[in-house]
Structure 1
Amino acid sequence: MGMKGVYLTTYDVKNQSDGVAKKILSQIKCFQDVDIDMEIVDANHMPISKYFSWRKKMAKVFSTAYTTGCLYDYLIDKIDLKKIQFVYVRKGYCDMKQIRSLKKIKKINPVIQILMEIPTFPYDQEFGGRRKILAIPRDKKARMYLHKYVDKIVTYSNDKKIFGTPTLRISNGIDYERISLKSSSCNHEGIHLIAVAFLDYWHGYDRLLLGMAKEQELVRKNGLVFHLVGDGRALASYKQIVKENKLEKHVMFHGRLYGEKLDAVYNECDIGIDTLGRHRVGISYNSTLKGKEYCAKGLPIISGVTTELDSMNCTYYYRVPANDDPISIKEIIQFYHRIYDGKDPKLIAKSIREESKKYFDFPNTFAPIVEYIKKNAVHETFKSYEVPK
């Protein structure tokens, strides 16, 4: 009998306009490629839970921890956990209901492996409003117990332990086969930058906008254009900066774009802008998913947080200081010329993609997780309900 696992997430993995959903399917495929039978418990299973109606109402007030509880209900009530070797959980907010569910899972099958992925760590400062006031205290209480039931925490940080649980440290990866190399025809004039994100204050793109406002002569002289793709709660403040500083000719707000429309904007751009404000939420190291997409597209990258690329001596990577100062436009222009002057942009894009693929193509980044499961999960069906003493 082959190995079986369950992937539990509050995301709807069928929503392929969602980058996280695509990543989750890539993770699942990595397990399936080594003949592990995977069952998905995602947002589509929430209405099946007998507690869904009540928890959905509570989630609107408190946090997604309540709807996550529905997924655990489904997992315990509908799946024979004695025949499951591991559960992979993508963590949202946690509460004591989830801790009790994890305890119950271990009671049903004491040898089952439970892995919990924490996409961003630390995360307490990422959210504001009701989530911070109501959800974080509940999460802080519950996560004190995670080490009792979670075997490994999967992290993209450098932490060896999180909440008392040993970690498996990996890089964020992306499926290079799903992302086309950008066209580098160089039909455009000037220097074109791109940022693709669900815009929040910790992305820090206000720093770049303020830098453009401060050095407008350089912006105009070099034809610098910043393409912002996406929306989110920081969008209004970004538009205000642009309006106040008369940057409308140099900042393009595209809204959300997908597929060919997104590719068309990428094709016009020379440099990808990664997060510039992670220090605002207490993060000093981050393996960003968006940075990997820029690599797959063949774009040089500017980042405001330490990433794997800092230790790789990449010529196509430039890191700016992790503070709230306006970004130096002069330094961006110098970086552009170091990359492109006297070189074929098509060859540059191809080189960036091929070199980064060795490190960040999904099967390579997720391999340590698959190997851990193959080595540590008990392959046989668990026979007893009794917890060994």
Structure 2
Amino acid sequence: MSARIEYIAFVDQQKTPGVAKKVINTVKSAENLGHDVSSKLFAPSFASVFGFIKAVFTTQCDVLFIRFSSLLFPFLFFPLLFARLKGVKIVVDVPTPRKSVLVELKTSETNVFVRIVKQSISILSSSWVLWPASVVVQYAQDSSWYLWGVQRRTVIIGNGINIPDSLAVANSRWDKATPLNLIAVAQLAQWHGYDRLIHAIHQFKQSSEKYDIKLTIVGEGDAYASLQSLVSELNLQDNVTFTGFLSGADLDAHFYNAHIGIASLGLYRIGLHEASVLKTREYVARGLSVIGAADDPDFAHDSQVRLMVSNSDSIEDIVVLLKDLPNSMLLAPQELRDYAEKNLTMESKLKVILAHVDIK
């Protein structure tokens, strides 16, 4: 059954290209499933709020996807209710548990007044802003405060990605006689926990292990300067390289020579013990094993694809993992790509979501 689907999101395509990419990939995946799909991306501004509200009021689609925004959703309650009364099925995509956003604001928002306003809006809006939704999509469990009245309509699912045929697979398996190449790609923040890995590499170098480790950190962000300072302090300039923001062929070249991708290692810092990290899926699609922390709905604890470390400040378990890698059998790049195509595509996730609004 073909449906008319529209995706509306409040997103800064320059500052958060990953968010824009997810919306675009969702649209492409829905088209691949045979649906008629359109999207509207609004740059965050006061004027855009009115455009967003108008888009909700005037939509003629069968299924409306909306990316959740704490500041915007109190203004969308009645427009969304109006859309529901017209027969539109509404899917609200909540990318991060709202309880975690409250914790993240403590470090990400330095202006105390603005932080208090944002936290107050989130707490006061509780779950009622989601009541018009047909389905609420979450990627980890939220608190009962934000789920009251919508828990039965909430679906917890792993993130999905698009895997174009043109996406190159990593060059080869790691040969223990050569350096182990790690890559970490992110808009660098404290909750990525890359400082844990840097400390672990420093401690690893003090051991009797014979192989060398090279870590490439791609991206910029609030944690960029502190990570650079830490590398200098620990004298790891020969082991850790910062590239800044990369895209296209430049980024592909670094992925091509990597062996393991580094997902978020500090999710506990924003109160998360479960998360569906998008970057994990992108690494696997490129043929890389992954090191990550916290539970993930798409990977078992003993997965050979995603190598799990503790979701805490511990350095020791990362050091142990690095020491054990020569005795481990990392999956071949093509095996990892095959796993991603079978289990992690956006199409497979969309089928589950659309089934909840009776679209097959």
Question: TM > 0.5 between the two?
Answer: yes
Partners of 1:17 and 1:136 in 2: CA distance: 21
Contact 1:170/1:366, CA 8 A, preserved across alignment: no
Task: Report matched runs for 1:40-79 at 5 Å.
Answer: 40-43=39-42, 55=46, 67-68=48-49, 70-76=51-57, 79=58
State yes or no: 1:163 paired with 2:147: yes
Of the two, which has the highest radius of gyration? 1
Partners of 1:310 and 1:186 in 2: CA distance: 22
Partners of 2:273 and 2:173 in 1: CA distance: 36
Name 1:3's counterpart in structure 2. Answer: 3
State yes or no: 1:115 paired with 2:91: yes
Contact 1:91/1:119, CA 8 A, preserved across alignment: yes
Q: Deviations over 1:224-282 (max 9, x none)?
A: 11111111101111011111111111100011111111111112221111110001111
Q: Deviations over 1:185-234 (max 9, x none)?
A: 86993111111111100000111111223333349842111111111101
Task: Report matched runs for 1:52-201 at 5 Å.
Answer: 55=46, 67-68=48-49, 70-76=51-57, 79=58, 81=59, 83-95=60-72, 96-107=74-85, 109=86, 111-121=87-97, 122=99, 123-127=101-105, 128-129=108-109, 130=111, 132-158=115-141, 162-164=146-148, 165=150, 166-177=153-164, 179-184=167-172, 189-201=178-190
Contact 2:3/2:359, CA 8 A, preserved across alignment: no
Contact 1:68/1:92, CA 8 A, preserved across alignment: no
State yes or no: 1:350 paired with 2:334: yes
Q: Deviations over 1:67-110 (max 9, x none)?
A: 4454123432xx3x4x4322110112235322233234345x2x
Contact 1:196/1:229, CA 8 A, preserved across alignment: yes
Partners of 2:258 and 2:208 in 1: CA distance: 15
Name 2:325's counterpart in structure 1. Answer: 335
Alignment RMSD (CA, Å): 2.9
- Mark the CA change 1:360 to 1:160 in structure 2 (over 3 Å): closer, same or farther: farther
Contact 2:130/2:136, CA 8 A, preserved across alignment: no
Partners of 1:357 and 1:219 in 2: CA distance: 39
Instruction: Give 1:366 deviation, angstroms.
Output: 1.9
Instruction: Give 1:309 deviation, angstroms.
Output: 4.9
| Long gaps (5+) in structure 2 | none
Out of 312-321 and 276-285, give the one that drifted further.
Answer: 312-321
Name 1:276's counterpart in structure 2. Answer: 265
Partners of 1:212 and 1:259 in 2: CA distance: 29
Instruction: Give 1:158 deviation, angstroms.
Output: 4.4
- Same amino acid, percent of matched pairs: 23
- Mark the CA change 1:245 to 1:9 in structure 2 (over 3 Å): closer, same or farther: same
Name 2:31's counterpart in structure 1. Answer: 32
Name 1:368's counterpart in structure 2. Answer: 352
| Long gaps (5+) in structure 1 | 47-51, 57-66, 341-346, 377-389
Partners of 2:34 and 2:333 in 1: CA distance: 35
Partners of 1:361 and 1:38 in 2: CA distance: 18
- Mark the CA change 1:360 to 1:326 in structure 2 (over 3 Å): closer, same or farther: same
Equivalent position to 1:208, from 197, 205, 212: 197
Contact 1:4/1:84, CA 8 A, preserved across alignment: yes
Instruction: Give 1:21 deviation, angstroms.
Output: 2.1
Contact 1:160/1:167, CA 8 A, preserved across alignment: no
Aligned length: 345
Partners of 2:30 and 2:305 in 1: CA distance: 32
- Mark the CA change 1:374 to 1:180 in structure 2 (over 3 Å): closer, same or farther: farther
Task: Report matched runs for 1:246-325 at 5 Å.
Answer: 246-311=235-300, 313-325=302-314
- Mark the CA change 1:234 to 1:17 in structure 2 (over 3 Å): closer, same or farther: closer
Contact 2:157/2:297, CA 8 A, preserved across alignment: no
- Mark the CA change 1:374 to 1:25 in structure 2 (over 3 Å): closer, same or farther: farther
Contact 1:231/1:255, CA 8 A, preserved across alignment: yes
Q: Deviations over 1:315-358 (max 9, x none)?
A: 23321111112253342131254125xxxxxx711111112321
Partners of 1:373 and 1:12 in 2: CA distance: 29
Instruction: Give 1:145 deviation, angstroms.
Output: 1.6
SS in 2 for 1:124: helix
- Mark the CA change 1:185 to 1:87 in structure 2 (over 3 Å): closer, same or farther: closer
Partners of 1:355 and 1:34 in 2: CA distance: 20
Partners of 2:327 and 2:306 in 1: CA distance: 13
